[in-house]
Amino acid sequence: MNAPLPSHILGAVRPVPAPMLQALQQHFGDRCSTATAVREQHGRDESTYPITPPEVVVFCESTDDVVVVLKLADEHAVPVIPFGVGSSLEGHTLAVQGGVCIDLARMNQVVRLNPEDLTVTVQAGVTREQVNREIRDSGLFFPIDPGANASIGGMSATRASGTNAVRYGTMRENVLGLTVVTAGGEVIRTGTRAKKSAAGYDLTRLFIGSEGTLGVMTEITLKLYPLPEAVSAAICQFPSIDAAVRTTIQIIQMGVPIARCELLDANAVRAVNTHSHLSLQEAPMLLMEFHGSEAGVKEQAETVQDIAREFGGTDFQWATTPEERTKLWTARHKAYFAALQTRPGCRCQSTDTCVPISHLAESINESIAEAETAGIPYWIVGHVGDGNFHLSYLLDPNDPAEAAAVERLSTLMVERALRLEGTCTGEHGIGLHKMPYLVEEAGAGAVDLMKNIKRALDPKNIMNPGKVVAV
């Protein structure tokens, strides 16, 4: 049993008419599939919602391919759902009203690297790991790291961030321009490769975080950064989650330019140890990374060690070689799958919030107390350097009572974040699950304005309908 689809998005399925299906098959040949296995693969993500497949999956290889699909969809008023790698967590890619799924994975070319300007333009299906493999000889890197090897298009659509956000920001700060196919099949370009612009409305930021509801991004121009002269990673254990969080707060308030500051609770560390064959002390832990010059990294590390000791942190355990750092960060990124293995047959429901750093300890501590009372297995990781954390529950998929309990806990966690002047999602996005929370956070007037933008850009409501705002 999976979580039921929320009632606020349920709408009539709009079937793909035979003339449109025939046109797609004629144009795309074997790149147009109605096979059940292919459709089901594209009708799920990492959420606990049931598989909700599209009627047709089209594998696009160019912007022109996307134009063909969207012109047909516009003509027949059929929903279109863009698909990257399916790693989203809030039901973003479910075909709740049927329609056509556009798989962008084959649009995986680096279009143009401009190292002298610190920019690169890529197709939407390029993954974050691929970007860094293909530009590594330039001495530059792309820092946004949400954990999953997500596509750049998907990361842009959900305004992703991740472990490096505390220093380098999110996709919002690191996308300079876009090529977008609109709901009517028109190709537009937003932004430039210049570092700033005061020309007109900021359409780039409008599409970043729109979750496929306003158009399909096919090319993205990204900011790059010089590889730091020195990089060091360290782990530090603490007597409690509260001590680790208060250390983080002090680090940020003192202005230490730490590159990564990740929290793992004891449950997450235990799972990572088993899955990745590590022997970390099973206690609340901060996993940190410092970037800069040799002297700068040394100074940052010394300052952070002094702060950690004030809160009972142990001496740092260093990982200074690329191999050691990769081993640690790979283990961290596999925490999700590591946790799943601790309860065979379970599903994971993860929610995230983000609050002002001064309220982070309060937010996490109260969430933990509620989780402990519920008695459902859970684990916590967090990009706590920017006030963002994830609380994940391991659910028995055949126990509706557990699903109901977790939904209640998620609501309490979100309501707390909003009360503390934070947000219902730091990086997961709205998708299906958090649509009611968006109204609580932004207010009815702001959501009505979002609906008006959606109607103006997508008058037939064909772009990923049923997500973010209901129109």
214 and 234 in a single domain? The answer is no
Residue 36: inside a domain: yes
324 and 237 in a single domain? The answer is yes
Residue 199 is predicted with a pLDDT of 95
Q: What is the mean pLDDT of the chain?
A: 94
pLDDT of 177 strictly over 50: yes
Q: CATH code at 327?
A: 3.30.70.2190
11 and 101 in a single domain? The answer is yes
Q: Under 8 Å CB-to-CB from 24, ≥6 apart: which residues? A: 32, 56, 58, 69, 72, 100
Residue 315 is predicted with a pLDDT of 84
Domain of 328, in residue numbers = 230-337
Confidence of residue 11 (pLDDT cuts 50, 70, 90): low
238 and 323 in a single domain? The answer is yes
Mean pLDDT of the 149-178 span: 94
- Report the 3 state secondary structure along the chain: CCCCCCHHHCCCCCCCCHHHHHHHHHHHHHHEECCHHHHHHCCCCCCCCCCCCCCEEEECCCHHHHHHHHHHHHHHCCCEEEECCCCCCCCCCCCCCCCEEEECCCCCCEEEEEHHHCEEEEECCCEHHHHHHHHHHHCEECCCCCCCCCEHHHHHHCCCCCCCHHHHCCHHHHEEEEEEEECCCCEEEEECCCCCCCCCCCHHHHHCCCCCCCEEEEEEEEECEECCCEEEEEEEECCCHHHHHHHHHHHHHCCCCCCEEEEECHHHHHHHHHHHCCCCCCCCEEEEEEEECHHHHHHHHHHHHHHHHHCCCCCCEEECCHHHHHHHHHHHHCHHHHHHCCCCCCEEEEEEEECCHHHHHHHHHHHHHHHHHHCCCEEEEEEHHHCEEEEEEEECCCCHHHHHHHHHHHHHHHHHHHHCCCECCCCCCCCCCCHHHHHHHHCHHHHHHHHHHHHHHCCCCCECCCCCCCC
Confidence of residue 160 (pLDDT cuts 50, 70, 90): very high
Residue ending a domain, among 288, 313, 337, is 337
Residue ending a domain, among 226, 244, 276, is 226
Mean pLDDT of the 415-424 span: 97
Residue ending a domain, among 106, 124, 147, is 106
101 and 125 in a single domain? The answer is no
pLDDT of 8 strictly over 60: no
Residue 331 is predicted with a pLDDT of 86
166 and 257 in a single domain? The answer is no
Confidence of residue 9 (pLDDT cuts 50, 70, 90): low
Q: CATH code at 53?
A: 3.30.43.10
Residue 415: inside a domain: no
In the chain, what percentage of residues exceed pLDDT 70? 98
Domain count, the chain: 3
At 50-99, the pLDDT tens digits run 899 999 999 999 999 999 999 999 999 999 999 999 888 899 999 999 99
Confidence of residue 245 (pLDDT cuts 50, 70, 90): very high
pTM (2 d.p.):
0.93
Residue 458: inside a domain: no
Residue 435: inside a domain: no
pLDDT of 4 strictly over 80: no
Residue 181: inside a domain: yes
332 and 253 in a single domain? The answer is yes
119 and 219 in a single domain? The answer is yes
Residue 282: inside a domain: yes
Residue 319 is predicted with a pLDDT of 86
At 289-315, the pLDDT tens digits run 999 999 999 999 999 999 999 999 998
Confidence of residue 6 (pLDDT cuts 50, 70, 90): low
Residue 46 is predicted with a pLDDT of 83
pLDDT of 403 strictly over 80: yes
Q: CATH code at 220?
A: 3.30.465.10
Residue 2 is predicted with a pLDDT of 58
Q: Could you tell me which residues are beta bridge partners of residue 114? A: 119
Residue 7 is predicted with a pLDDT of 59
Confidence of residue 1 (pLDDT cuts 50, 70, 90): very low
